[in-house]
Structure 1
Amino acid sequence: MKLQATPKAERAVGTNKEAGSKEPRSQRKRMRRHFRGYIKNRSQSCKERSSSWQEIESRPLHVVLGNEACDLDSMVSALTLAFYLAKTTEAEEVFVPVLNIKRSELPLRGDSVFFLQKIHIPESLLIFRDEIDLHALHQAGQLTLILVDHHALPRSDAALEEAVAEVIDHRPIEQKCCPPCHVSVELVGSCATLVTERILQGAPEILDRQTAALLHGTIILDCVNMDLKIGKATLKDKNCVEKLEALFPDLPERSDIFDSLQKAKFDVSGLTTEQMLRKDQKTISRQGIKMVISAIYMDLEAFLQRSGLIADLRAFCQAHSCDVLVAMTIFFNTHNEPVRHLAIFCPHAALRMTICGVLERSSSPSLNLTPAPSIHPNLQAYLQGNTQIFRKKLLPLLQEALSAYSDSKATPSGQHETAGVSGEQVDKELDGAGALLFPRLSQDEEEPSLPPTPMNSLVDECPLDQGLPKLSAEAIFEKCSQISLSQSTTSSVSKK
């Protein structure tokens, strides 16, 4: 997927300095007109100049958007699908992969940073969510969205739902959450598998080694080195990896790429507790009760022994306006087998007890939980015997727990009360921070107008950065103009 040999969206996956110098001036101006009104300008002078950039072309911009967690699977799925669409669609269409995080968040994703460097994709050429105003594009009638690795938009993006033209996801769909559009869903280990299948079926000739390496490494990491016994990989994942290896025999050995990506992913050295919680988080909610589920890449015991942990957990909940924080710790033992444990932080006693009860009693699936010694009354930790229950499989149980709590606190008279725990007990167990964190739990709230994303979410009330981008407007214009190269440049892509 080398930019010097690939038009349109290739600028998001390579470099194209030589070709860029030959770009027609009229085309460069056209692309600048197309984007200038929508890039969040860095300085007041840029903002003043933007008032004169009102002429926008009629053709739409197709944005391929991954999920808000922006893990490696989401990032690579967006990049490679945009590449495929750009190579197989008529020249007037423009496809742009957008990473659904702020640029400043990328360093927290060690595996993504490592892989971008390994595949020779400069971070400076990527476009992040805080660098393009999708709402303004939509208001101008020029936005088409393609969602990958998720199937519903957060409440803050509800207005964009009508712009969604396609969904590609690898987790169960809740019909009420999914936009009315073309939906491709299959329960495989990696969304990159579905993108690989689409490329192989639609235009295998566009694959080059760089694109194949992106897809190959991502599937292997997501599917835990294609170990079917672990329960993440499916036969389709396995078949796609084998087909990529057949086309490009010089791809890295599976164990080598898995070990290097996993090492980068699990490297949390130097991260604060708050950064570890943000590194890979998802959000669900029910009737105004918000829960964050974070993957923590270390042993449970080491996590619980972190200095100032309770204060950090409390501060995280306050900063993210969440009522419950669930940390799923994961590390690999000496046999390279995943070990997963749980820690549930919730100052509200009744809510915490409801969640723990649902998880402990669950038989389909069974977590085989063993309570671990508690370091604080508001924190319940568990050793998880069934290590095949990873976060994606845990989320439905947590949603069930939130629903059970919401149902239990509603009475026929419309009043709310705590099921199984007296008000006095709750008051005794609530510390000062809990009272600050949970003012909403005593209010009679309706279901949100848009249901939350059940699976892939940093969704409801997700705070999108309203600040200024890290890149100058001119730098963004230059990147966007590279996308348009395909409208006048055709080059062959050789398989290496």
Structure 2
Amino acid sequence: MKSLRTIAITLLVGAASALPKLLQQPLSDVAIRIGKEKGVGHFSEWSRATKKEFLIDWQAGRESEWAIVQGNEGGDLDSMTAALTWAYHLEHSTQNTSNQLKAIALLQTPKDGLDLRPENKLALHNSQMTSGHEDVLTQDELPEDPETLAPKLRGIVLVDHAEPLRKWKKAKILSIFDHHVDRGAGPDAEPRIFEKTASCTTIVARTMLDELEKLPEEYHMPHELLELILSAIAIDSNGLDPDDATDTDIYTSQRVLKRSNWANRTLSDVMEHLDDSLSDAKKDLDALGLRDLLRRDWKGDLVDTPSPRTPTVSLGFASVPYSMDEQIAKTEFEELFDWFAIHAAWTAQIGVDISIVLSKYKTKDKDGQKNKIREVVLTVRDDVRIDQEQADSLFKTVKEALEKEKDLGLRPWHRVQELAPRQMVWTHESGAGRKIIRPIVEDAVLAWD
């Protein structure tokens, strides 16, 4: 039998002898062999080139030439697509003018968090982008802290986001496109559009097409981007379901479809197919552990309070498509204590004082009818910015604010007696998600003293 040392030498020699042959192959073939597939098409090439140019200009101190288009930190397909779309439009629509803009989309999630949304991964793959998300700029690839970078920029554009995160507050807000509640940010932004649509990408795409069609000469619109736009609208509107889609979603989708490679197909066929495939991917989360489920759709920021002792607290929201019982089953010990231990480790890592986890799932009654159930988990820490007395007070304030909202119909969870201090779990069937619960919690924190 050969010794381990002999086997190791044989393997090294074999690898070394194969290396020259590998290096003689085209780079694209090498990329595929090592698990990286280089993107093809104009959209991928533009995105990669823009990212490179931005980093070069940062190194040379030319940040003031750039606008950063950013969505929310949840990083869903709508937010990502809206940012990429408007960045592409800003650069191309001004390229032959005296006021040319340099613009780049920023995904406010870490690179290793993008694959926690399988629908994003599928949509980018379908758009022929480079694997591993190398074409896009992510939060952890920023070469400078946002608080110091923000005032150096030409400005920022908010998409699918009503106001900038605290770390971007020093940046000039150039434009806002959102389908949520107007929070009053960027009053001088232009355009500044708040409109009820299923998808924020709808608002961005409509504005892009309106401006594009007014140009003396239209710039090239890559079909990969058009198809990415349709994907984002499809998944947010359930395939343009009449109960979810607005007239604006439908009309804008039709305009985009006419320019895409799918122009010979019907709108309903395209959108239903996209929704089916992307929704199937979105549900493919069984392999994710609890920590990844908490961080895959996390949104949070610093909130100012009237308290002179604690002027600022960190507030975060997670959305998880599993019941608490199912989440507990995903922990190592499959016990309640382990859920809170993993949650505590995650919130400690990101420095959160108060956390809300919103869960949703479906059950069947005895007649086979599906019921949508939601859960709300509230926790407050006393080891980040606030002490135990303050944490107790803040927990009570937020708990009372949520329970006072009769429209939510919150009921104590079936294992509520097992919870520790400053932990609470409710169930409800109101259908209220983060868009409704977040303002309630934020207002309570703002009023806490």
Please give the residue correspondences for 1:53-132 in structure 2 after superposition, counting only pairs within 5 Å.
Answer: 54=60, 60-91=65-96, 92-122=100-130, 123-132=133-142
Residue 181 of structure 1: SS of its match in structure 2? Answer: coil
Indicate how the Cα distance of structure 1 residues 401 and 94 shifts in structure 2: closer, same or farther if over 3 A, else same: closer
Are 1:403 and 2:408 counterparts?
no
Residue 156 of structure 2: SS of its match in structure 1? Answer: strand
Indicate how the Cα distance of structure 1 residues 292 and 35 shifts in structure 2: closer, same or farther if over 3 A, else same: closer
Q: State whether residues 281 and 293 of structure 1, in contact with CA within 8 Å, keep that contact through their aligned partners in structure 2.
A: yes
Q: Match of 1:112, as an amino acid? A: N
Indicate how the Cα distance of structure 1 residues 355 and 138 shifts in structure 2: closer, same or farther if over 3 A, else same: closer
Distance in 1, matches of 2:242 and 2:430, equals 15
Q: Counterpart in 1 of 2:412?
A: 371
Residue 182 of structure 2: SS of its match in structure 1? Answer: coil
Are 1:216 and 2:226 counterparts?
no
- Measured after TM superposition, the shift of residue 323 of structure 1 is 2.5
Q: Counterpart in 2 of 1:196?
A: 205
- Measured after TM superposition, the shift of residue 208 of structure 1 is 4.6
- Measured after TM superposition, the shift of residue 137 of structure 1 is 6.3
Q: Counterpart in 1 of 2:26?
A: none
- Measured after TM superposition, the shift of residue 289 of structure 1 is 3.3
Q: Match of 1:399, as an amino acid? A: E
Indicate how the Cα distance of structure 1 residues 153 and 403 shifts in structure 2: closer, same or farther if over 3 A, else same: closer
Q: Deviations over 1:212-261 (max 9, x none)?
A: 221111112123333454xx543322332344345524476333322322
Residue 134 of structure 2: SS of its match in structure 1? Answer: helix
Unaligned runs of 5+ in 2: 1-38, 306-311, 382-390
Q: State whether residues 158 and 175 of structure 2, in contact with CA within 8 Å, keep that contact through their aligned partners in structure 1.
A: yes
Are 1:38 and 2:79 counterparts?
no
Q: State whether residues 162 and 181 of structure 2, in contact with CA within 8 Å, keep that contact through their aligned partners in structure 1.
A: no
Distance in 1, matches of 2:123 and 2:361, equals 20
Q: Match of 2:349, as an amino acid? A: A
Q: Match of 1:116, as an amino acid? A: L
Q: State whether residues 368 and 385 of structure 1, in contact with CA within 8 Å, keep that contact through their aligned partners in structure 2.
A: yes
Q: State whether residues 150 and 168 of structure 2, in contact with CA within 8 Å, keep that contact through their aligned partners in structure 1.
A: no
Indicate how the Cα distance of structure 1 residues 133 and 59 shifts in structure 2: closer, same or farther if over 3 A, else same: same
Distance in 2, matches of 1:59 and 1:174, equals 27
Distance in 1, matches of 2:150 and 2:294, equals 32
Indicate how the Cα distance of structure 1 residues 199 and 337 shifts in structure 2: closer, same or farther if over 3 A, else same: farther
Residue 38 of structure 1: SS of its match in structure 2? Answer: helix
Residue 152 of structure 1: SS of its match in structure 2? Answer: coil
Q: Deviations over 1:324-349 (max 9, x none)?
A: 22111124568788543222234655
Among 297, 307, 315, the alignment partner of 1:291 is: 315
Please give the residue correspondences for 1:218-237 in structure 2 after superposition, counting only pairs within 5 Å.
Answer: 218-229=232-243, 233-237=245-249
- Measured after TM superposition, the shift of residue 165 of structure 1 is 1.7
- Measured after TM superposition, the shift of residue 195 of structure 1 is 1.1
- Measured after TM superposition, the shift of residue 304 of structure 1 is 4.2
Distance in 2, matches of 1:360 and 1:253, equals 43
Q: Match of 1:213, as an amino acid? A: E
- Identical aligned pairs, as a percentage? 20
Q: Deviations over 1:136-194 (max 9, x none)?
A: 7666x5633222222433332333x23x322222212222x436422222232221011
Residue 376 of structure 2: SS of its match in structure 1? Answer: strand
Q: State whether residues 3 and 11 of structure 1, in contact with CA within 8 Å, keep that contact through their aligned partners in structure 2.
A: no
Indicate how the Cα distance of structure 1 residues 401 and 142 shifts in structure 2: closer, same or farther if over 3 A, else same: closer
Indicate how the Cα distance of structure 1 residues 133 and 256 shifts in structure 2: closer, same or farther if over 3 A, else same: same
Indicate how the Cα distance of structure 1 residues 345 and 224 shifts in structure 2: closer, same or farther if over 3 A, else same: farther
TM-score (norm 1): 0.64
Distance in 1, matches of 2:120 and 2:52, equals 29
Residue 298 of structure 1: SS of its match in structure 2? Answer: coil
Please give the residue correspondences for 1:302-451 in structure 2 after superposition, counting only pairs within 5 Å.
Answer: 302-305=326-329, 306=331, 307=334, 308-331=338-361, 339-346=373-380, 348-363=391-406, 366-373=407-414, 374=416, 375-378=418-421, 379-387=423-431, 389-404=432-447, 406=448, 410=449
- Measured after TM superposition, the shift of residue 264 of structure 1 is 2.3
Distance in 2, matches of 1:289 and 1:64, equals 26
Indicate how the Cα distance of structure 1 residues 228 and 33 shifts in structure 2: closer, same or farther if over 3 A, else same: closer
Q: Give the count of matched residue pairs.
A: 364
Q: Deviations over 1:345-399 (max 9, x none)?
A: 3465543343233223214xx1222322124234322222112x22112211112
Distance in 1, matches of 2:200 and 2:376, equals 25
Residue 58 of structure 2: SS of its match in structure 1? Answer: coil
Distance in 1, matches of 2:424 and 2:91, equals 49
Indicate how the Cα distance of structure 1 residues 327 and 35 shifts in structure 2: closer, same or farther if over 3 A, else same: closer
Q: Counterpart in 2 of 1:257?
A: 274
Are 1:154 and 2:165 counterparts?
yes
Question: What is the Cα-based RMSD across aligned positions, in Å?
Answer: 3.3
Distance in 1, matches of 2:110 and 2:63, equals 28
Are 1:277 and 2:294 counterparts?
yes
TM-score (norm 2): 0.70
- Measured after TM superposition, the shift of residue 75 of structure 1 is 0.8
Unaligned runs of 5+ in 1: 17-27, 40-53, 411-496
